Amino acid sequence: MTVEQFEEKWYSNIPTKWQGYAISIDDENVLSYLDKQFTILHETDPEFEIHQIKLKFGQARVYLQTTDKLVEARLEVGINLILARNES
């Protein structure tokens, strides 16, 4: 899955001002992980919003609007683990 395909699939969960800028990590494994996690999140919070998912100082940063306040931290850990595995 590419960033473009990901953003197209989750278009309704990306506010207009973030469309085209929401995801800046172009890694197939990360995008697949996020797709699976957002599918689960969508079941409990279908109105969640994706604001930004990016690397900042070499670490994943996830900014969402959701009822599950811990999901951002869990996603950051998951992304960082995937990227660390890719480097080894």
Predicted TM-score (pTM) of the model is 0.93
Report pLDDT digits (tens) over 1-54.
Answer: 899 999 999 999 999 999 888 999 999 999 999 999 999 999 999 999 999 999
CA 67/CA 5 separation, integer angstroms = 25
What span, in angstroms and rounded, lies between the C-alpha atoms of 82 and 6? 17
Delimit the domains of the chain by residue range: 3-87
- Residue 88 CA to its chain's centroid (Å): 22
Q: What type of residue is 80?
A: N
